[in-house]
Structure 1
Amino acid sequence: MSFTHRLVSKRDKLSASGVTIADWVLANTEKTMALTSQELASAIGVSQSSIVKFTQKIGFKGYSQFKQALTEEISRKFALQSSPLHANIAMTDSTSTIIQKLVKAKTDAIFQTSHALDSERFDRVVELINHAHKVQIVGMGASALSGKDLGYKLLKLGILAITEMDSHVQIGMARTLTPNDVQIVFSFQGTTKEINLAAETAKEKGATVIAMTSPQKSALRDIADICLDTVADESAHRASSMAARTAQHVIADAIFITLVKLRGDDGQEMINEIASQIKRL
């Protein structure tokens, strides 16, 4: 798990001062790298002991190890941004270069998303979906397509999954949810007004809201009961939305396969079908 993902995943378990420190560091990563623990404490307005306790709470032995991890992460990001395969797809790119850029963006999304996955949260999500009376899947644009794919797979397992593409209908359907139901929200940025309104509506009805979204702070993360991080390059290059969709598919497919396994004999036929499809590739 990367440094940034570690901070985000541990945020909900931190004290008030810990959350303040985490948010400041996430917003000022390069500046933090140059500060001593005392200087960081002064910049944030907390005690030096709070900084040390914070670093230990998120899994480091102390501030030195914390800074080392931060430095390594920034170095990796700089190296990626300096790579020609990381740059925007240009009109002058050859077909071979375009394919390499797309493959790299998608591969990075798969690698980073899988490593950022919190196993406890993931297992809880699978359990909730497995026992839900009804599952509503919400998303817009490319995210809606990711949701549609998961909905189809859940239906094949006998799980009642509703995947309406229209945002107004999604909000209307959210009003029908109950505490026995689950809403899964696909939104990479977590800032779409209509999507967040559907999530808020589901929450008001007592349904459990699960968000597949970027690890960055957003309105959706504040609304959701459980967040599964989808990690992809957020730069402006044209492969970014494809990479985000790849990240969403990583978690969605992992949920599906785990549900197949949980359902024992009921899922065995599905496992055989998947194996046959792989052999035909």
Structure 2
Amino acid sequence: MSIINKILARRTQLSQQGCLIGDWVIAHPEKAAQLTSQALANQVGVSQSSIVKFSQKMGYKGYSEFKLALNEEIGRKQVMQSTPMHSDILADDPMTVISQKLVKAKTEAMFQTTNALSYEACHQAVAWLNGARRVQLVGIGSSALTAKDLSFKLLKLGITALCEQDSHVQIAVARTLGVDDVQIVISFSGERKEILVATEAAKEQGAKVIALLGPGRSRIRHIADITFDTIADETKHRSSSIASRTAQNVITDLLFISLVQQRDESARQLISDISSDIKQILS
């Protein structure tokens, strides 16, 4: 697992200072790889000992080992980007190469995203969705496609799912939510103002907020009750946010399948209870 993904996967285990360090490293990996422990501490605004503890929390003996691993990871990434089989699709690529690059990009997105998952958070999210009065799904652009797909799946399970495309309507719906409702926010960048306003509105009404976000700092990450990191190497050369949507779909499909399991189990228990009642009546 890459260092960035280690930070994301273990973020819930970090102290407040550890989260600050991790977020800074994720945002500035190349710069972090060149700094001393004291210089990094000054940049983040923490003590030097906090840098050492953070490095150990990531599985390294100290900051020197962490910094060496970070430099090696950056070097490997630069080499990969310079090879012909880098996942960016070029204008003159033949279809055979395009297909291989697509498989590589999508597989990598799924692998990294599932590696960073907190399954405890997954169980909690499924419990909230299973008991929700209504579920609002919020997304703009390519993320709206993921939101719409999940809304259809929730409707199949009998869960009231609200998924509007217009950002103004999304905000209006968010203001009608209550403590028995859940909002799922899907945004790879986490920077769209409309999404932020809808998230804040749902939180103000007491709704539980589940966010699917790309790695990095954002205000939505601090508002949401549960955050799932969708990890994808998106660049300006790749169209339609293919890798990020693949990462998002890994999370939404996992939540959906888990909901199916729970509801099947509930249905089997209900049938068993009814059968027992009938047997008691007939006996």
> With structure 2 as the length reference, what TM-score do the two structures score?
0.84
SS at match of 2:254: helix
Please give the alpha-carbon distance, in whole angstroms, between the structure 2 residues aligned to 1:82 and 1:256.
39
AA aligned to 1:125 is A
Comparing 35-44 with 96-105, greater Cα deviation is found at 35-44
Deviation at 1:235, TM superposition (A): 1.6
Please give the alpha-carbon distance, in whole angstroms, between the structure 1 residues aligned to 2:223 and 2:41.
30
Deviation at 1:32, TM superposition (A): 3.1
What percent identity do the matched residue pairs reach? 56
- Structure 1: gaps spanning 5 or more residues: 269-281
Please give the alpha-carbon distance, in whole angstroms, between the structure 1 residues aligned to 2:220 and 2:43.
29
Residue equivalent to 2:208: 208
In the TM superposition, what whole-angstrom CA distance separates every residue of 1:61-92 from its partner, at most 9, and x where no partner exists?
A: 43354335424432442243233232542332
Contact 2:109/2:244, CA 8 A, preserved across alignment = yes
Please give the alpha-carbon distance, in whole angstroms, between the structure 2 residues aligned to 1:110 and 1:24.
24
**Rg (Cα) greater in structure:** 2
Deviation at 1:177, TM superposition (A): 0.3
Please give the alpha-carbon distance, in whole angstroms, between the structure 2 residues aligned to 1:229 and 1:43.
25
Contact 1:105/1:239, CA 8 A, preserved across alignment = no
Comparing 96-105 with 250-259, greater Cα deviation is found at 96-105
SS at match of 2:185: strand
Residue equivalent to 2:110: 110
Deviation at 1:233, TM superposition (A): 1.0
Where do 1:157-236 residues align within 5 Å? 157-236=157-236
- Structure 2: gaps spanning 5 or more residues: 269-283
SS at match of 1:132: coil
Residue equivalent to 2:280: none
- Poorly superposed stretches of 4+, deviation over 6 Å: none
AA aligned to 2:21 is I
Q: 1:77 to 1:120 in 2, by over 3 A?
A: farther
SS at match of 2:85: helix
Deviation at 1:151, TM superposition (A): 0.9
Contact 1:151/1:163, CA 8 A, preserved across alignment = yes
Deviation at 1:34, TM superposition (A): 4.2
Please give the alpha-carbon distance, in whole angstroms, between the structure 1 residues aligned to 2:33 and 2:147.
39
Contact 2:184/2:211, CA 8 A, preserved across alignment = yes
Comparing 13-22 with 211-220, greater Cα deviation is found at 13-22
Residue equivalent to 1:274: none
Q: 1:259 to 1:20 in 2, by over 3 A?
A: closer
SS at match of 1:98: helix
Contact 1:86/1:105, CA 8 A, preserved across alignment = no
